[in-house]
Structures are given as C-alpha cells and as structure tokens.
Chain A
Amino acid sequence: MKHIDVGMMQYRQLNEQIRESKAKQFILSSVTGQRYIGCAQKDKTITINGTPGNGLGSYLDGATLIVNGNAQDATGDTMNEGAIIVHGSCGDGTGYAMRGGKLYIRDSAGYRCGIHMKAFEERQPLLIIGDRAGSFLGEYQAGGTIIVLGMNQEGKAPVGYFCGTGMHGGTIYLRCDTLPQGLPPQVAVHDADEDDKALLFELLDEYCALFKLDKAQLLASHFYVLSANSTTPYRMMYTHV
C-alpha cells in the first residue's frame, strides 16, 4: 500500500510515480485536478481522494480506480478493461469511446457520455449512471451497454437532448416512465420485458452492491430499452437540427 499526498504536484510526476512503483495498492490524497491518473494501468488499485483531473483512467487496461468524490471530464476515455468507480458525479465525455471494462457512477454525469462506445467479442463495456446524464448520451454508440437509473428524476427521462443520435449498435437502458423527447429515427425503443429485466438483474449486480441499492426495488420500475434501428441507418442525421 503506497500513500501519496498529491496536492499541487505536476500530473506527469504523479503518474510516473504510480507507473514506476512496484506497489499494487495506492491511496492518493488531496488530488487537485491532476490529469490522466491511472492511464493505461493494468493491475493496480488506486483510491483517489480529492478531485481527479480530466482523462481519469484513459486507456485503462485492467486496473481499478475508486474516486471518493466527483471526477471531471473524459473519465474512462477509450478504456479497455478494468473498473472505475465514482462515489459522486462525472463531467462531460464520460466513457468516451469506451471499448471494455466497467464505469460506475453513483450520481450524475455530463454531456456526451458513452459516445462512440463499442464492443467486440469478450470486450463488452458497461457504463452505469445512478441519476441523470446530459445531452448526447450514447451518440454514435456502436456497442456495449449504458444504463441510466434516474434515481432522483421521479420517472422523468434521465437524459438531455439528442440521446442516441447516430446510434448503430449496443443498448441503452433508461429507468423512467416517459421517453426522452425527440429520439432520432436511428433509435428503436421497447419497454423492458422479462428477458431484458433478467439481463439487467445481472448487469446491476455489482453496482447495487457497491452503492447499497435495493436491486429488486429498482427492477420493479419501468425501463425503456433503446437500440439501433437498422432500418434507417444515418438518413438525415443532422441535417434538420
């Protein structure tokens, strides 16, 4: 276990220290916006106290990052494998181009979460947001799974505008009673059925245990399932916004 009091340390210095250390467990304190923490790490566990900077866990390749607080923009950018757990909220571009691993956010996340997310064989990225996501959730999504639980949204759609624009693969689950307005024609929607709920039961397992949520109660709510509508690929995508 290695403890680093970060303060105003340069981000390069911090990341080199983590990379070059033989320790497997790290606890960082007073983190003040240092970028790229955990970048491309394979097998370490890093606990972050304070506010990590942009690009937290970018290209993550198997390590586990735990944030006690909020993270900033581009958390889990292009992550490949591993887990990022945020006991708070995230900024814009969360899970950008994620292609594997798990990204669990207790509260909310900003604009453009999970955009360009993709999947291949055993690499199946999973992004779960507890409360609400901003506009452009899952824009150009090509694979993987995004779940938004709308914990404080009282059944309203827990996303902003332009959800799933350009989506051509993967799945978005929204826990809400009303659909987001103006879903584009590339998105097909259905109400979650028994099979979907069974799958959600598995996908939410770790998340609910981590954040102490009643999974059965969550699953009793209504979910929408958004997926790519293969009958209208790309037609008139942005020409009328």
Chain B
Amino acid sequence: MNGYHQRTPLEGEVRIPSGCAISGIISRSGKRFSGREAISSIAVMHDRSNGLGGGFAGYGIYPEYADFYALHVFYYSSEAKRSCEDFLEEHFDLINLSKIPTTKHHAITDEPLIWRYFVTPLPTKLASSQLDENEYTARCVIKINREIDGAYVFSSGKNMGVFKAVGYPEDVGEFYRLDDYEGYSWTVHGRYPTNTPGWWGGAHPFSLLDYSVVHNGEISSYDANRRFIEMFGYSCTLMTDTEVITYMIDYLHRKQGLSFEEVANVIAAPFWSTIERKSQEEKEVCTYLRNTFASMLITGPFSIILGFSGGLMALNDRLKLRSLVAAEKDDRVYLASEEAAIRVICPEPDRLWYPSGGKPVIVTLEGQQGGQDGHQLPVSGL
C-alpha cells in the first residue's frame, strides 16, 4: 500500500458495528442483464456494510474480447504503472488498453489509477515457459502483485471483470457505471472489514483468472490455509482473509481437477461424526478428501459466492454461522445474505430455500441445478 493514504479513518480507528453482505444473480439461459439488479439487491443490505469496501464481479461482460484475459489493475503511482506496463509488454500481446470508465461520486474518494488491459500471452514466451496459458497468466498476475510496489491486478479472467472500491457497494456500482455492462451472472459484496484495513485492493470480490469470491464471515484458519497454499506458488498480498479462499479454489478446481462439489467437501468438510453416519461410498470419499487436503479446511464462519465461467456456487461453513438464502424464478437463480435482498428484485420467486451448512448450491449455464440437499421452503408471502 505504498503511497496510499485514505482520508476516511481506517478500521481500527473507528468502530461501526455491522456485518458483510453478499448477493449473486445468474441467468441459466445465459441471457445478459445489466449490473443494476445487483446494485438494487445489495442496497437493501446497506446496514450490513460500513462503507469500507464494496465490489462486483460480472461474467459475460466482454463478449467482444472473450478470448483475451481482461486485466483490471489499480496503480498507486505512475512509476508503478510504468513498471507494470513494461512487465505486461514483455509477457503479453496487449490487444487493447484504457482507463476503466468511472463517474465522479461524492462517496467514492481517493481512487487509485484504474486501468484495464485485454491481453494474450506472447506465443514465444508461452511456449518457452512450457505452461498452459492459464498457469502462465496466473503466475504473471501473482508476480505483479508480489513484486511491483503499488500495482495490484484485481481481475484477470476472460469475459469477466471485477469492479471494487472503498465505499458502500451501491455507490461503487454507480462509480463504475455498471448500468453500462451486461453479463449473464453478477456477484456483489458489501464489506465490513474485520482485522484488516479497508482499502481498494482489500474489497471483494477477490479474483484469480475467472474465479471470483465474495465472502461474508471471518476465517479462523487463515494462516494455516495461507501457509499451505503459498507452497504452491500463490502469494497472499491483499491483506484480507478472503484472498486465500480464491487461491484454494483455483488450486483445487483448476490445478487438481476437483469438481465444485468436491471442493466444497474439502473447504467445508463435514465433521468426522457426520462422516461416520454416511454410506460406505460417501464415507470413503469424504475421508479421502478430508485427509488429503487437511490444511485446506476452512474454519470459522463463512458464506461465500464463487463466480466462475458459466456458473455460480454458494457455500456456507458446515455450522452455517452466516446466513444464506437461495431462490429461483424462471431461468434466474438468486443467492443472498438476506431474503429481502432477493425479493426486492424478484418479489415472487417460484422456489425459495435456505441452503444447509457445507452443502453447496451450484448453478451452471447448462441448467444443471445443485443444492438438492438444501432445506427447501414453501414460498409464502402476499
């Protein structure tokens, strides 16, 4: 955070009691819609945030550049920008670059320089690295975040983008003009930072390649998780516990090839006493995953929404210490910390349920619906 100073007091200097808020919306048919619904949904949960962070991830927003990695970067100095651009030019073909369009907003201040690059790995560099293009790009992103002072790549997927800032999420959405983008899925986060500073890089979503995570909660296993994941080349540079969840999911899903259900069984592994009561086959799977990836169990309260290309996954800790509600209507699925945040954009869902602790709700564009183990509620109301 060199060269970065906020006028508003940092967490620790003030105490504003609240909690985080998350929301996610996906159209299973792939129909694109603007970021406005995510803004309307999160605004209902205003009191869960304290203005020290808000952010969005939109998927399907860059169809004209769908084959290129979209890098969103914060710069805290022009030197950082020069160093980062030198690095990018050395490793990638830069197809397009520009400032990310923003609107002056009275509640969003002290913004860094915010740039966007559509890039593809230089073929010669990629070939000599003997890596696939995802791994090549991920390593470059980690290197920039670790080594270039004052430069933070906060979004690096294809046909998706993260937009985040210090502020209330509804203001952040206005600041980034999210009415102008259309995606098939959106996630959004209102932040109440615990233990760590409220700063632009520390706002959610956290993202690597096309994985993005918004999180309500506090990971008590953070350092155990961090030490483990840093053995595999990741670097936790953003000073917030949620960052490590993103890297663990990238490692388990992209590198180890686990399904999202299996990922859920690793990071929110059932208690041994619960595993005991499962069928022999399930018992073997759960025992294998829990033993093999013991250091990747996340403890402490969390509800997360993971965005990935083609879908969303919502997951609670196994004790369900944070709230999570899911609903569906026609081709849409809604996920949020509070039911009111769903009903404000979808007053009469066809189905509404509370997912159980440790049981993922996985929604993909093909129409495959997870969450059958959730606890289904009859839809009521006037």
Report which A residues bind B (CB closer than 8 A): 8, 11, 31-33, 35, 49-51, 53-54, 68-70, 72-73, 87-89, 91-92, 106-108, 110-111, 132, 134-136, 160-161, 181-182, 240-241
A residues near B273, Cβ cutoff 8 Å: 182, 240-241
A72–B339 CB distance below 8 A: yes
Q: Which residue of B lies closest to A240 (CB)?
A: B273
**Contact, CB under 8 Å: B380 / A87:** yes
In the complex, A91→B377 CA distance in Å? 10
B323–A92 touching, CB < 8 Å: yes
Interface size class for chain B?
20 to 34
Q: In the complex where A33-B341, A53-B338, A240-B273 touch, is A72 in contact with B323 (Cβ < 8 A)?
A: yes
Contacts of A91 in B (CB 8 A): 323, 325, 339, 354
Chain B residues near A107 (CB-CB < 8 A) = 377-378, 380
Number of A-B pairs, beta carbon distance below 8 Å: 96
Minimum CB–CB distance for A117 against chain B, Å: 19
Q: Which residues of chain A have C-beta atoms less than 8 A from B344's C-beta?
A: 32-33
Report the minimum CB–CB distance from B261 to chain A (whole Å): 19
Instruction: Decide: A89 and B377 in contact? CB cutoff 8 A.
Output: yes
Contacts A32-B340, A35-B47, A241-B271 given; does A134 touch B382 at CB 8 Å: no
Within 8 Å of chain A (Cβ to Cβ): is B172?
no
**Which residues from B are CB-within-8-Å of A161?**
274
CB of B277 closer than 8 Å to a CB of A? yes
Q: Which residues of A contact B341 (CB under 8 A)?
A: 33
User: Bound state CA distance, A50 and B340, in angstroms?
Assistant: 8
Residues of B within 8 A of A110 (CB): 320, 323, 354, 375
Which residues of chain A are near B26, meaning CB under 8 Å? none
Residue in contact with B378 in the complex, picked from A89, A135, A160, A240, CB distance below 8 Å: A89
**CB neighbors of A among B330-372 (8 A):** 338-341, 343-344, 352, 354, 356-357
- Among B32-49, those with CB < 8 Å from A are 43-45, 47
**Chain B residues near A70 (CB-CB < 8 A):** 339, 352, 377, 380-381
